[in-house]
Structure 1
Amino acid sequence: MMETTELRVRSRGTLSVRLLGPLDVSVDGIPIVLTPGRLRTLLAVLALSAGRAVSIESLAAVVWARDDPPRNVRRSVQTYIARLRCALGDDAICSGPAGYVLATDPERVDALMFLRLLSMVSAARDPATERARLGEALSLWRGRPFDGVPSPWLAESKAPWLVERYLTALESRLDLDIAAGRYAELVVELSELTARHPLRESLWARLLIVLGRSGRRAEALARYETIRTRIAGELGVDPDPTLQRLHADLLTRCP
């Protein structure tokens, strides 16, 4: 786990880093291309702690996660930091006793902004505000997190956690739309989502609900059989109790 320390920083240029999809970096709106994989990894790790210092040891542990670390770790990290400063601007990365800090507002890092917006959802006083905040957070996603950043630590630790937060937020937004009766448009969206996440039973449950409420009972039963067969074949288990209960409810309804 990375150790971070709060630091106050100031940057002359406006540095933006997008991590929720292919790595995208810009300074004052001008795109910055970082080709070396370790530079991209180093920037991603610093961006996840924007405004806070990350120790040299923590940076090295991620950058050389599965490779033999260099003999002089401190000097090697300093070398990569110098190369990042060359690409982003001398004032883009500050240093101190606690380590290095990316000198940008956390709101300029899409992953951090996503989490901040999610934290504001519970304070919403009405469904419309809640849906708007969820929509704003979800709109920040452009694809697989850390795409193009060759880091096992980010791929195995941070990315799954962010994806789960994304899917949970998406399901909250879907629930608001179900409550509002937007069944027709949700059938299309949920059909696409279950194809993209074929073993996420909570999405299939919502698909059965909207199909049933749209009067498409036969299709809902067919979709249940699709997920039941897939789960049995790939996981060797039955669907979860929620899906089984929805299936039973569909069977007891009049055709």
Structure 2
Amino acid sequence: MTVLDLAAPAPVRTEVTEATEFRLLGPVVVYDRGTGTSIVPSGPKQRALLATLVAHAGEQLSADRLAEELWGDRPPANAPSALHTHVARLRRLLPPGHEWISTLPTGYLLSLGRASTDVARFTRLSGQGRAAAPQDPRYATRLLDRALALWQGTALQDSCHGPLCTAEADRLEEQRLTALEALYEAGLNCGRHAEIVCDLERFTAAHPLRERLYDLLMVALYRCGRQSEALGVYERARRRLVGTLGVEPGPALRCRLEAILNHCPTLTASRPRHPDLAAEVARLQDRIDRLVRDQTDLLRRVQEQDAGR
């Protein structure tokens, strides 16, 4: 497939990319922090094209792979020209002042420059939260709450029709569930078992094959003095796993059952330990990131005021 694109590259202005955030954790949106406005591609193919390029930013995607993403195994006869048209429309849609999409001999590449993505923020915050959880669960819950608050719906909403977007959405959903499990484990370590029982009931119903959620719910119920209900959760998990997958619960869930039956002392809520060095570093990095963002916003406002004089 031959792709030709005669669009001239625009001059690079880093202040434009710094103010731009590509959002994939929900509807596909380009958000301008400077103006507070959002750019939403109008059609599903435009959204899928943008989502694919952003998810693989810095990576060359061949025209054939992009065509498969947009049209599956039934591309139009003029697929190269149609793809070129979609790319050209997307270029016009994105904020001016930066060459977002480059044309390469066999495909296209999106360069973020200094723009950000909500996926990168989620990855950073959730990673810091999991790192802080063993020593400082209260701080971990704040980080994980902030990470999960970035989600505004299912990942790559209304864009998951091709193999690349589908795979990326599945990967991100797995990361979201892992962050949720870390959040509720940190909540248990903060002594918040009574607060999270309802949430864990809801999530085990929504994700009935995730043994970790059943495990956390059993501990929360046991700490609330509801041992029989905790045992009932194990039986519910076993029936679902056997009925759906034909397998018994794994060793972690079976060990949890034995611990509850034997009233194991390790099931009682433990006091959070003092933060270790890793948690302190994560906390300081979080504060530094916020200060940098605040300083960037302040400099932008000053520049705008100077330009308006």
Equivalent residues in 2 for 1:59-208, closer than 5 Å: 59-68=66-75, 70-71=77-78, 73=80, 75-91=81-97, 93-95=100-102, 97=104, 99-103=108-112, 105-107=114-116, 109-121=117-129, 124=132, 126-127=135-136, 128-208=138-218
How far off its partner does 1:229 sit?
1.4
How far off its partner does 1:165 sit?
1.4
Amino acid at match of 1:243: L
Instruction: Report the equivalent of 2:41.
Output: 34
Seen in structure 2, the aligned counterparts of structure 1 residues 134 and 70 have a Cα distance that, compared at 3 Å, is farther
Cα distance in 2, alignment partners of residues 106 and 113 from structure 1: 12
Q: Deviations over 1:186-225 (max 9, x none)?
A: 2112111111111111100110011111110011122222
Name which of structure 1's ranges 38-47 and 22-31 shifts more when overlaid on structure 2: 22-31
Seen in structure 2, the aligned counterparts of structure 1 residues 105 and 45 have a Cα distance that, compared at 3 Å, is farther
Which ranges of structure 1 fall in alignment gaps of 5 or more residues?
Answer: 1-7
Which ranges of structure 2 fall in alignment gaps of 5 or more residues?
Answer: 1-11, 265-309
SS in 2 for 1:12: helix
Query: Highest CA radius of gyration, 1 or 2?
Result: 2
Name which of structure 1's ranges 10-19 and 150-159 shifts more when overlaid on structure 2: 10-19
Amino acid at match of 2:151: W
Aligned pair 1:12/2:19, yes or no? no
How far off its partner does 1:159 sit?
1.4
Instruction: Report the equivalent of 1:47.
Output: 54
Seen in structure 2, the aligned counterparts of structure 1 residues 9 and 60 have a Cα distance that, compared at 3 Å, is farther
Name which of structure 1's ranges 10-19 and 158-167 shifts more when overlaid on structure 2: 10-19
Task: Give the fraction of aligned pairs with identical amino acids, expressed as a percent.
Answer: 34
Amino acid at match of 2:87: I
Cα distance in 1, alignment partners of residues 97 and 84 from structure 2: 15
Q: 2:234 aligns with which of 219, 224, 227?
A: 224
Seen in structure 2, the aligned counterparts of structure 1 residues 186 and 123 have a Cα distance that, compared at 3 Å, is closer
TM-score by length of 1: 0.81
Amino acid at match of 2:124: R
How far off its partner does 1:85 sit?
2.5
Cα distance in 2, alignment partners of residues 45 and 152 from structure 1: 9
Seen in structure 2, the aligned counterparts of structure 1 residues 103 and 245 have a Cα distance that, compared at 3 Å, is closer
Cα distance in 2, alignment partners of residues 230 and 130 from structure 1: 31
